[in-house]
Structures are given as C-alpha cells and as structure tokens.
Amino acid sequence: MMPLAVRERVIAWIREHRPAVVDMTGGAPELIPGFRELVQAARAVGCQVIDRCNLAVLDEPGQEDLIDFLVENEVTVVASMPCYLSDNVDRQRGRGTYDRSIRGLQRLNAAGCGRDGQLPLYLVYNPGGASLPPAQDALERDYRTRLQDDWGITFTGLWCLANVPITRFRAFLERSGKLADYEELLWQSYNPATLEGVMCRSTVSVDHRGRVYDCDFNLALGLDMGDVAVDSNTPRHLWDITPTRLSGKTIATGTHCLACTAGCGSSCTGAVAPTPTL
C-alpha cells in the first residue's frame, strides 16, 4: 500500500518529468488505493501506462468497472498467463486460475483490448520450474493458435520472462534441491548479447515508500541503487532524483542478474536477444 503522502509526491514527479512509461505491478496493483488516480495523472501528461494484471482481479467484487476504466484511459494491459493449457496453469497458480484467466481475456477482447489496431494486450509466460523459457517467437505462435482455436482469444504479443532465483522461487529451489543446478544453468547460458537490453539500463523501480531501485528484483532484495552503496549522498527517493541525475550511474548487480542475461535474456518486456546459436 502506497500512503497518500507518497502517492502525491510520486504523481508530482510524474507530472514534472513525464516518463515515457509508468508500469504498475505488485500482485494486483488495481486494488491499491490511488491506483486509478495514478493512472489518470500519468495519462494526463502523455505517459504510456502499463497495468500488470493477474486477470483474477477482474472478477473481484468492486472491480466490475475496471475493464471500462482501463479502456477509457488507454492502459496497456500485461496479463500473466503461464501456459495455454489448463492443467499447467492450475498446477502453477491454483485450481480455477485457468478458467478465470480465460474469462478475463475474453472480457478484455470484448472491450477492444488485444484486437488488431485496438488497445494492446500482452501475455506473460514464465517457466513453471527450474528451466529457461523457450524461444519467445515460437511459443507466441503456439499461444496464438491454441488460444484462438480453443477460446477465440487474440492478443498483441507474448513476453517470456525467466525466473530469478530470489525470494519465494529461491526457497522453492532450495526445498526441491534444485538451486545449484539452476544457478549452474544460468552461468552456462550467460549471453553477453543480452546486456544492452536488460531493464535496469532504462527503468527505475519505485516501492510503496517512494524509494528507488535499479530494478524490481533489487527492490525485492532491498538492494539499493548502485551508487548508494558508495556514496551516502546519493538520493534514494524518487523525488530526490531526476532522469538526468540517473544517467551514467552504476547499477547494483549480483548473481541473480544471471537470470536476466541467460539465453535470450529476460526483461519486463520479455526476451532481449535472438536465440543464441550453439
């Protein structure tokens, strides 16, 4: 939950600096007080707004008008859809998730999201376990065929994200004895061609307190921006920085970064490099 005082400062920053993209995430960002106010403030100054939507939220009591709001404000919806097969989705996300997700995608399509020439609707895939995502283009073709044939669903594009071995996923790997193998896979799959495209080079993440981080994973780890570690005067809140001041700053990195740089790479908009040739 982002307190009102923080929201007001974030909105003031958006109005002043007009970032190209305001990308909202956090499980179900739509349920956070002030979500709609943030969307409208960002859209009013011309930002592209992305809503990372878990689809289940569309069925929540009190959210009956959410799709209309997203369409009215031309929000880009990015929806998590770990597979086009129901068994895989329900195993990964809980029973009933697949049906809810399909229903949500159909409602978004009916409202004009993900249809040709209308509002964008992206799907996000991430592997169910300790493996790297398959080639994004090929998987997108499979998603298109199955979702269209089975449910009449269309979408703008599929983004493949790798699982980063931190927090809950790391605990899962440790419990299942797969952490060492997964980390070795990431090391072996390191691809320097991904470095230009990793998201920390062009985005900052802002938490509920207004603190800034180089990326969402560093935020989850509480890993401060690179220069903060060596310069205590470096600002830590969004309202202390300007885009210009961020230019050329050191990015805080760790072994978890290997998940962003393995194979085709992984960013908030999916793969960042062509499939490496072996």
Name the residues that contact ligand SF4, by CB under 6 A.
198-200, 214-215, 217-218, 251, 253, 256-257, 260
Q: Which residue has the tokens 């998590």?
A: 80
Q: Which of 54, 218 has the CB closer to ligand SF4?
A: 218
Neighbour tally for 164: CB within 10 Å: 21
Which amino acid is residue 184, in one-letter code? E
Distance CA 253, CA 175 (A): 25
CB of 212 to ligand SF4, least distance (A): 13
Q: Which of 13, 217 has the CB closer to ligand SF4?
A: 217
Distance CA 12, CA 239 (A): 8
Quote the tokens at residue 227. 């220069």
Distance CA 248, CA 229 (A): 15
Q: Which of 35, 217 has the CB closer to ligand SF4?
A: 217
Q: Which of 51, 214 has the CB closer to ligand SF4?
A: 214
Q: Which of 159, 217 has the CB closer to ligand SF4?
A: 217
CB of 199 to ligand SF4, least distance (A): 5
CB of 224 to ligand SF4, least distance (A): 12
Q: Which of 253, 275 has the CB closer to ligand SF4?
A: 253
Distance CA 59, CA 266 (A): 30
CB of 255 to ligand SF4, least distance (A): 9
Phi-psi region at 229: left, alpha or beta (left = phi > 0; alpha = psi -120 to 50) = alpha
CB of 243 to ligand SF4, least distance (A): 18
Distance CA 29, CA 171 (A): 24
φ, ψ of residue 107 to 5 degrees: the values are -65, -40
CB of 44 to ligand SF4, least distance (A): 29
CB of 250 to ligand SF4, least distance (A): 11
CA dihedral (270, 19, 192, 265) in degrees, to 10, reads: -10
Q: Which residue has the tokens 């978004």?
A: 108
Quote the tokens at residue 213. 């981080």
How far is the CA of 150 from the CAs of 53, 85, 97, 145, 241, in angstroms?
22, 10, 17, 8, 48
